[in-house]
Structure 1
Amino acid sequence: MMRRLATLATLLPALAVGVLVAAAPASAALPDRFAFVQWNGSATVPTGTTPAATTVVTGPPGRYRILFPGAGASRGVVHVTAINEVPHWCQANTWGPAGADEVVYVDCYKAGGSPDFTPFTAIFESSSPPTIAINGRFGYVDAQPTGALVSQFNSSGAVNSVTPVGVGAWLVKMPNLSTPGPVDGSLQATAVNVAPARCKVAKWSSAPSGQQILVNCYGPGGAPLDTRFTLTYQYQQSLYGAGWPPKYFGYLWNAPPLGPASTNFNSVLGPAVNTLMPAGTGLSLVKFPQLAVTPATVQVTATGPASDFCNLIMPWMYSGTDIIVRDVACYTNAGARIDSGFLISANSAF
């Protein structure tokens, strides 16, 4: 693998972008800033962390302070996924720049809503105009419960909107992110709250006019909850907005069963090549072939109309040139395994 990385770096100097992005000016091409971290419960994991000097400090039960050096930005979005053999979820608490760095606070909970320490994987990304032509489509929102936007980005240059449509429910529109439809690409949603909350993608539709997504959020008891949240849309782009080649990324929707080919993409091999194998009730083994270029991050978001949630039961693995996720686990609000829908996204820093 190291030989492969060295060869790519020699042949494609643009690979250095993965390291230099954090130092780019705010008006740079998408993205301005990005960083991610894998925390194993006691230390950061180099193959799942960039920049390499990222630090994680524990606080009160379930609270983490992440410092991403050189990634400071006054906007952007955070996504986080718990990694545990028993049902947990993680959410964003707050984030913002501290000089040149980005500081992100993450809170994690076990089923029922009690704060609890757990391994996790988290990503921060910030983009701003002017945009440049990209291979795919990319957008995000950071929205208050009222629908007011804390920040937003749309790679077409259009302005996204968020409209409350009920308690704990919002319609997110990302105009001009045109795709053939009826459902294309992938999404990640994360609650932002100082109290236990979690969010998911209830449903979405794609069309030449853009993307429309219904986001639902819940409290620890499973009742709909009004909360701030983040949502990122990717279509043939990485979860942090960078294009390809030479980027390595992939995504997949387990509806279940697998969603259409347009929701299963691999930046090396194209559509419909990532695979999913059921591994028991509520468990799914996912394989992303040819994407094992480190460091890389994996994020998961539950889909569907109920209060189910999903996590990873163990860190993803690198097997030859493939990323293996064994397994995605989904649960009812009470923590029982259930065959629920989910969206999964794997992304390399290079």
Structure 2
Amino acid sequence: MHVRTSHLSSRPVRAAMLVLGMVAALLAAALPVAGPAHAAVPDRWGFAYLDNATPPPGYAPDPSRQWGSWASPSANPVKVDQIGLGSYVVHFPLIGGPGGIAHATAVNSVAHWCQIADWKTAGPGQDVYVNCYLPSGAPDNSTFTVLYTSSSGLPATPPGSYGYLNSDSSGTVLTQYNSAGSANAVSKGSTGIWKAWLPSLGLSSYAGDLQVTAVDPKQGARCKVSDWTPGTAGQTVIVACYDASSKPYDTEWTLSYSYLRAVHGPAFPPKSFGYLWFNGSLPALTNYNSSGATNTLGGSGAPFTVTMPSVAVPSDTAHATAYGPSADYCGLYRPWGRTSGSVGLYVACFDPGGAPVKTPFFAAYTSAF
């Protein structure tokens, strides 16, 4: 297993039936051979929402939408520097170290996507580099949410399950975590297609949440969950990635899976979190609210409105990932709202040309508390 500290290596729409064919072939293939387990959850983490697309140097974004596992986050906040058009570095204090993963989600009413370019230890902290793009693939300024999280060991009490992967473009696992102590693995399929195997996690039916983010420092790339097959032995996830012209593209990526856990890994605390998967319906065990309330889905897709009652507690964050065999992608239309204890997540999805589209997605929300 390769432990990731830092890297700067590189990374017309295919018809949906072609992608489905690739997925079918991968699902039929033998499961990939797993490497040693990188087996607490998580021991280092932070999240933030960049609320200013053109931040001044050393900008501290919205304090009600950032937090982390370091001492006194309110007095020692996350800061962001813009380093180019659509290019940012997010400074998480005092959580530096190897491994872990990062996710980013664009927050924009106009079609954009944001991806991870890199992450690395910087002194005592962790720097996460985020790049944002227009549908054309041109860099552009945008607001976004970002999280970094790293886990090791096994949880003392194991409600639910949690795991993550960071894979390079060839399917080599750079870093991974599995709360059951098993070893996650990846196998490479056709261009832009991978099969991730998360053994011993989840249930034999659809349960939990998935998030996927492209990692590419050189060009625009976006990734999504193309297919998902739960089983008694674990979760099989097909990851699909595309370049700016919506052609299948080989790039690095991160994936996380959580069942009865927050998007960055912990469970109880935080007391307030939830997730929802829309795949044309709302499978019961993929629609979770830690308060016991029922999440609901409204809107036409331009945007969707995901309402999660009784969990709105700042500081908090949210992420979204598209699902399905097309090159559509999803983000947040605007920052999540908080009303009378309820959270409203506004999920916007777009086709490759940037037109709003109603497509399946995963959405996740968590408070730090």
TM beyond 0.5:
yes
What one-letter code is carried by the residue in structure 2 that aligns with 1:168?
A: G
CA contact 2:302–2:356 (8 Å) conserved in 1: yes
Report the AA paired with residue 362 of structure 2: L
Picking from 240, 245, 250, the partner of 2:264 is 240
Deviation of 1:259 (Å): 2.5
Please list the CA deviations of residues 203-246 of structure 1 after superposition, one character each: whole Å capped at 9, or x if unmatched.
11212211110000000000000000000000001111111255
Q: RMSD in angstroms over aligned alpha carbons?
A: 1.5
**Paired position in structure 1 for 2:35:** none
State the alpha-carbon separation in 1 of the partners of residues 91 and 146 from structure 2. Answer: 11
Instruction: Give 1:137 shift.
Output: 0.7
1:35 has 2:55 as partner: no
Does residue 320 of the first structure (1) align with residue 340 of the second (2)? yes
Deviation of 1:266 after TM superposition, in Å, equals: 0.7
Gaps of 5+ in 2: 1-37, 68-72
Which letter does structure 2 place at the counterpart of 1:87? A
Map of 1:48 onto structure 2: 65
Question: What's 1:13 paired with?
Answer: none
Over 6 Å off, 4+ runs: none
2:359 to 337, 340, 343: 340
| CA distance in structure 2 between the aligned counterparts of 1:107 and 1:246, rounded to whole angstroms | 29
Name the amino acid aligned to 2:66.
Answer: T
In 2, Cα distance between equivalents of 1:308 and 1:298: 19
Give the corresponding residue for 1:12: none
Residue matched to 1:191: 214
How far apart are 1:281 and its partner, in Å? Answer: 4.6
The answer to whether the 8 Å contact 1:186/1:233 transfers is yes
Specify the alignment match of 2:100 in structure 1: 76
Give the stretch that moved more between structures: 37-46 or 71-80.
Answer: 37-46
After superposition, the Cα gap between the structure-2 partners of 1:150 and 1:340, relative to the gap in structure 1 and judged at 3 Å, is same
Mapping of residues 3-42 of structure 1, within 5 Å: 29-41=40-52, 42=55
Residue number in structure 1 paired with 2:21: none
CA contact (8 A) 1:188 1:300 kept: yes
How far does the alpha carbon of each residue in 1:241-286 deviate from its partner, in whole angstroms, 9 at most, with x for none? Answer: 1112552110001112x3310110011116xx111102x3542011
- Deviation per CA, 1:177-215: give whole Å up to 9, x if none: 14131x111100000001100000011121221111000
Match of 2:295 in 1: 274
Task: Report what 2:287 is aligned to.
Answer: 264
Which residue identity does 2:365 align to in structure 1? A
- Aligned runs of 1:1-350 on 2, under 5 Å? 29-41=40-52, 42=55, 44-50=61-67, 51-52=73-74, 53-181=77-205, 183-194=206-217, 195-256=219-280, 258-269=281-292, 273-278=294-299, 280-325=300-345, 327-350=346-369
Q: How many residues align?
A: 318
Shift of 1:28: 11
**Alignment CA distance shift 1:143-1:49 (3 Å):** same
Code of the aligned partner of 1:324: G
Structure 1: runs of 5+ lacking an equivalent: 1-26
SS where residue 166 of structure 1 aligns? coil
2:13 matched to which residue of 1?
none
